[in-house]
Amino acid sequence: MRVLITGIGGFAGSHLAERLLKHTDWEIWGVVRQSRWRIAHLTEQLRLVTCDLTDQEATLEMMRRVRPEAIVHLAGQSRVGASWQHPWETYRTNLLSQLSLLEAVVRTQPPVQRLLIITSNEVYGPPVYLPIDENHPIRPVSPYGVSKAAQDLMAQQYVLAHRLPIVRVRPFNHIGPRQDVGFVCADFASQVARIEAGLQPPIIRVGNLSARRDFTDVRDVVTAYHLLLTHGRVGEVYNVGRGESHAIQEILDILLAASKVPIQVEVDPTRLRPSDVPEVRCQPERLQAHTGWKPNIPFRRSVLDVLDEWRRRVHTAAPSSSITPDKGGGHA
């Protein structure tokens, strides 16, 4: 099967490409824009195309060239915190990219056999009840969440109006190696690594540490995507999450305990979001029932793997290691 991954150079996209190359004999294509460092070790096994998915004609031309049998749509603006500062760019990137892709799918032959549209648990907004299942009300509070809710509805509309073989996926927070700053675990881990290397004072500035989120390792998340490509039901929507919550404080405690030097913690009001909720927890029963998926990587291991990878990035002075942590204090 020929599979196209949009956003293949991103956090989840790179891990999905790695998994599919390892566990299938599929031909893997990827849409890239600029950053390719996450897939540098895979480039000889991948077929990459450069395309601005917000450009409808360019997207149609790309689709006619690749002619994929399956698509996983991961491209887009992925930072909840950044969406508060840049709502217009968030809406433009996330909505136009998907619209261009779906229109291209409609107009391309032979037809695509399976299309995963990846949105987010942010579509649910503040929980009405826990754990959150797929029937939970859609009431997003961030610009990012609104953009993802619109993507979700758009995907369903193309199932109903054009009979496209779409499976919608709502992943909860995921962490793991190759995650950049702007997300809480990577923010903390990058600072610990830089402090250990003597690149910043031994102080970590934090936002809300009591918030609890359902964190799943990205390698388990892309395993779910792989299973949904083959076992997901067209027109259905699936939550992806561990089904348990951890406080942000727990991430920080694990990293501080693993640090090679003493570190002081200070609360920074600028890292508090305009809107936040005490706890988010996933109900993944539908995914488990339809695919047999279960998470295998323990929470603590995920956090320590992020730290180890950031130590390597700081040591080798990777270009992305110099990025300033997101002031939104992203929890995703």
- Euclidean distance between CA atoms 262 and 200, whole angstroms: 13
In 10 A of CB 194, how many CB atoms?
A: 20
- Euclidean distance between CA atoms 186 and 183, whole angstroms: 6
Place of tokens 């037809």: 111
Which alpha helices (H) appear in the chain, and where do they start and end?
11-23, 56-66, 80-85, 87-91, 97-107, 143-162, 184-196, 218-231, 248-258, 285-291, 299-315
| Contact criterion met (CB below 8 Å) for 118 and 72 | yes
Task: Spell out the long-range contacts of 251-255 with Cβ–Cβ below 8 A and sequence spacing 24 or more.
Answer: 251/184, 251/185, 251/188, 251/215, 251/303, 252/188, 252/204, 252/206, 252/209, 254/300, 254/303, 254/304, 255/188, 255/189, 255/192, 255/303, 255/307
Q: Three-class SS of residue 124?
A: coil
Closest CA to 128 of 283, 20, 298, 246: 283
What the chain holds in terms of domains, given with CATH numbers, is 2-173+217-240 (3.40.50.720), 175-214+244-280+296-322 (3.90.25.10)
Q: For the chain, state the CA radius of gyration.
A: 19
Q: Which two structure tokens, joined as six digits, stand for 245?
A: 């919550």
- Euclidean distance between CA atoms 247 and 254, whole angstroms: 11
Residue type (1 letter), 106: V
List, in order, residues 6 or more apart from 322 with CB less than 8 Å away.
none
Place of tokens 């508090």: 272
Q: What pLDDT, on the 0 to 100 scale, is given for residue 326?
A: 35
Q: What pLDDT, on the 0 to 100 scale, is given for residue 117?
A: 98
Q: Three-class SS of residue 50?
A: strand
Q: What pLDDT, on the 0 to 100 scale, is given for residue 33?
A: 83
Place of tokens 């990577």: 186
Closest CA to 213 of 168, 179, 183, 182: 183
pLDDT in tens, 56-86: 999 999 999 999 999 999 999 988 878 888 9
Question: Mean pLDDT for each 10-residue chunk of the chain (332 residues)?
Answer: 97 98 98 90 96 97 98 92 88 97 96 97 97 98 95 98 98 96 93 96 92 97 98 98 97 98 90 74 98 98 98 76 36 40
In 10 A of CB 317, how many CB atoms?
A: 10
Q: Three-class SS of residue 282?
A: strand
